[in-house]
Amino acid sequence: MCEKSKADMLKDELFYSPEHTSYACSEQEIKTADEFCGDYMEFLNKCKTEREAAAFIKELAEKEGYVPFDPSAKYKAGDKVYSDIHSKALILCTFGRQGLENGAKIVASHIDSPRLDLKPNPLYEDSELALFKTHYYGGIKKYQWTAIPLSLHGVVFRRDGSSVTVRLGDGEGEPRFVVTDLLPHLDKKQASKPLEDAILGENLNILVGSRPFGQDKGSEMVKLNIMKLINEKYGITEADFLSAELEAVPAFPAVDIGFDRSMIGAYGHDDRVCAYPSVMAAFAAKAPEFTAVTVVTDKEEIGSDGNTGLNSAYLKHFIADIAATQGLKGRDVLRASECLSADVNAGFDPTYPSVHDKMNAAFLNRGIVVTKYTGARGKSGTNDANAEYAAKIQRLFDVEKVAWQTGELGKVDEGGGGTVAKYIANLGVQVIDVGVPVLSMHAPFEVVAKLDVYAAFKGFKAFLES
Ligand code: MN
Ligand code: MN
């Protein structure tokens, strides 16, 4: 074996050169990561909307001993509480050995994903086909949502105040739904349009039926038949749609990708691929030094507005409430607190290299991405983490042997995006973005690497226990 040259040794010492995580992983660790991802895939299949994710995580948390937070109670180190934010977001909290005057460790991710919401008055018939009108939620490339199997999820409140949960199209043998597209033989005009105009939002109509009611002839007989079937199944009438939350999401289950099964293809990695590891990390961090707060929020995909999004006051109020149990002010706790904004970043895609600066892009299998800032153009609309805090988190990951890399969301002036980081930073908390790199982000079928998912779990756990 030849010795390393002096130059190579100096390079090792001086250069930043991230590499594939598996070089530093034992076989056992890779096996552990794959097993963790098996559970994550089950979670993905069970939870396709923020409501489903919030309900599932709440149930898991209750089994782990979390109880509803009581502002009038006194808590001691290790006590576990949760706060349910209108069934669409959730805060888990484990009280630390140190008092809240020394701050909390917050991990915040989101559990909503881009999808097609039904319009308030969705059902119509045209040319003896029944369809649902939709209004898309979040940033989608519309053409990706045509000609794929969809399932329907949500909740409908009936006139009498009772409600019914809808989940149809994911189970074996259940019907699916679909947005149709033009055949290539007749799409000359469509095909010559810019991609973003080729499919209009108003054309994302979902096919839901084609047989008329009985033998009676008349208008809207297919619609009548479909409404009758919906009424029989869910006990609702057309007017009940007006208040309902019904969401069409891709009907495919999470699957392994590649001959080596090293990746996962699924709907909604963004951002359940951070939410799930953060919740598992919260469960694993049993006796944290500082109070551990894990937030899974709604509405990130539409700008975090609304009373279940992090641009609302719910986190600020929760911190104030737990502060009050120790005779403290919320703002003093926030000032002393630290947060990982746990959200995905774009993985470098060799098919589309031109949108990335390769030196500052995140790569699959190189661990979690520490993103100092997101935003667009001149860092507009972002939390730009300060050097002190960025260095502290990077040091922590090094010490705890968490695979991590840096990553910017694409080239300067190529586009941009944001996360919940800025809303938490606006409360005075130290925040940095940390998350899993994703290919085909916001597509109905996104791809992540299993080793990165496990790195997220390790990273969040190390943070909560630090
Ligand atoms: Mn996200
Ligand atoms: Mn997103």
In the predicted model, what is the mean pLDDT of residues 47-67? 98
| DSSP letter string, 304-348 | S-STTSTTSSHHHHHHHHHHHTTT--HHHHHHT-EEEEE--EEBP
Q: How far is the CA of 419 from the centre of ligand 1 (A)?
A: 6
Confidence of residue 216 (pLDDT cuts 50, 70, 90): confident
Query: Nearest Cα to 209, choosing from 243, 175, 252, 171?
Result: 175
pLDDT level of residue 209 (50, 70, 90 thresholds): very high
pLDDT at 2 over 80: no
* Ligand 2 center from residue 268 Cα (angstroms): 9
Give the distance (Å) from ligand 1 centre to CA of residue 49. Answer: 14
- pLDDT tens profile 76-109: 999 999 999 999 999 999 999 999 999 999 999 9
Residue 209: exposure state from Cβ atoms within 10 A (0-12, 13-18, ≥19)? buried
Give which of 330, 333, 311, 313 is closest to 321, Cα–Cα: 330
Residue range 141-150: mean pLDDT, rounded? 98
**Ligand 1 center–CA 312 separation, angstroms:** 17
Q: How many CB atoms lie within 10 A of CB 377?
A: 10
Strand pairing category for 404-406 and 368-371: parallel
- Cα 266 to averaged position of ligand 1 atoms, centre (Å): 15
**Residues 396, 386: Cα–Cα separation, whole Å:** 16
What's the CA-to-centroid distance between 447 and ligand 1, angstroms?
14
pLDDT of 148 above 80: yes
Ligand 1 centroid from CA 319, angstroms: 23
Ligand 2 centre to CA of 343 (Å) is 8
How far apart are the CA of 386 and the centre of ligand 1, in A?
Answer: 21
Neighbours of ion ligand 1 (CB under 5 A): 270-271, 343
* Res. 156: pLDDT tops 90: yes
- pLDDT above 70 as % of the chain: 100
Among 227-241, 318-332, 370-384, whose mean pLDDT is lowest?
Answer: 370-384
Lookup: tokens for 49: 């909307």
Helix (H) / strand (E) element for 42: namely helix 27-46
- For residue 286, what pLDDT is reported? 85
Q: Give CA–CA dist 217/108, Å, rounded.
A: 56
Ligand closest to the CA atom of residue 441: 2
Residue 348's Cβ-count burial label (10 Å; 0-12, 13-18, 19+) is buried
**Ligand having the closest approach to the CA of 343:** 1
> Of the bound ligands, which one is closest to the alpha carbon of residue 272?
1
Ligand 2 centre distance from Cα of residue 247 (Å)? 17
pLDDT of 1 reads 58
Q: Chain-wide mean pLDDT for the chain?
A: 96
* pLDDT at res. 3: 81
Asked if pLDDT for residue 274 goes beyond 90, the answer is: yes
Would you state the structure tokens that stand for residue 425, as one six-digit string? Answer: 């930073």
How much distance in Å is there from the Cα of 68 to the middle of ligand 1? 27
Alpha-helix residue ranges (DSSP H) falling in 210-268? 221-234
Instruction: For residue 453, report the distance from its CA to the centre of ligand 1, in Å.
Output: 14
